[in-house]
Chain A
Amino acid sequence: EPEVTQTPSHQVTQMGQEVILRCVPISNHLYFYWYRQILGQKVEFLVSFYNNEISEKSEIFDDQFSVERPDGSNFTLKIRSTKLEDSAMYFCASSEPQRGTDTQYFGPGTRLTVL
């Protein structure tokens, strides 16, 4: 069964450093998303991406964040200057909305630890 994959599974970085989290969505999916989950809190939407541009972003997704689909298979989230409060699980998701459906399939996540 096709699945969303994410690398790395765990990333440790120093505050102020740039990180890039990578995702390979399901191959025939057209919509891509990033969510994050701070330990003990709910899963929160960050950004949605379609047709090579951002469709919607949350207030969390400020100028320190960017997304890119550099080729036909990868989807990346970049955090330019990490803060301690960026420590969280980051989940990539993808979907192929058809009429009446919009199910999103999630990857296993990247645990980001900012020291």
Chain B
Amino acid sequence: QKEVEQDPGPLSVPEGAIVSLNCTYSNSAFQYFMWYRQYSRKGPELLMYTYSSGNKEDGRFTAQVDKSSKYISLFIRDSQPSDSATYLCAMSNSGGSNYKLTFGKGTLLTVNP
């Protein structure tokens, strides 16, 4: 079983739709959960950061973590064409002096005007 699994899509939605992106993972040691946005041939841009289980909201974005199910989600409300990008989930263990991130493969999202 892969450490982090993410449906690569592609996902195509109309402008204004609610988008749901998801990842599952197998490593129960993961404590920190992140969502990055990556435009074509650019570096990942940090969108949301969550520690342990729970919800976090930032503007149109909501991140959810369910550690009991090893499942994380990112919701985008009122999606815009500028949200079109690849969305990467990433996770890391707690403790120690290193925080290597383990990424999902990314979901390609297109928001159509």
Q: Write the residues of chain A forming the contact surface with B, with a CB cutoff of 8 angstroms.
A: 4, 31, 33, 35, 41-45, 48, 50, 55-56, 58, 89, 91, 95, 97, 100-109, 111
Interchain nearest-CB distance for A24 vs B (Å): 13
User: Please, how many angstroms separate the alpha-carbon atoms of A100 and B50 in the complex?
Assistant: 10
A100 and B51 in contact, given A41-B105, A42-B104, A43-B103 (Cβ under 8 angstroms):
yes
A42 and B49 in contact, given A91-B43, A103-B34, A107-B43 (Cβ under 8 angstroms):
no
List 13 other contacts, CB 8 Å, given A44-B103, A101-B51.
Answer: A42-B88, A42-B104, A43-B103, A45-B102, A50-B97, A50-B98, A56-B98, A104-B99, A104-B101, A106-B45, A107-B43, A108-B42, A109-B41
Report B71-113 CB contacts with A as 1/0, cut-off 8 Å.
Answer: 0000000000000000010101000111111111110000000
Q: B41 near A111 (CB under 8 angstroms)?
A: yes
Q: B41 near A89 (CB under 8 angstroms)?
A: yes
Interchain nearest-CB distance for A108 vs B (Å): 5
Total interface residues in chain B, CB < 8 Å? 25
A109 and B42 in contact, given A102-B32, A102-B92, A103-B49 (Cβ under 8 angstroms):
yes
Give every chain B residue within 8 A of A91 (Cβ-Cβ). 43-44
User: Closest chain B residue to A103 by CB distance?
Assistant: B49
Give every chain A residue within 8 A of B17 (Cβ-Cβ). none
Q: B100 near A33 (CB under 8 angstroms)?
A: yes
Dominant SS among interface residues on chain A: strand
Q: A95 near B51 (CB under 8 angstroms)?
A: no
Give every chain B residue within 8 A of A56 (Cβ-Cβ). 98, 100
What 3 A-B pairs have minimum CB-CB distances, sorted nearest first? A102-B99, A55-B98, A106-B43
Report B55-75 CB contacts with A as 1/0, cut-off 8 Å.
Answer: 000000000000000000000
Interchain nearest-CB distance for B14 vs A (Å): 27
User: Please, how many angstroms separate the alpha-carbon atoms of A101 and B90 in the complex?
Assistant: 14
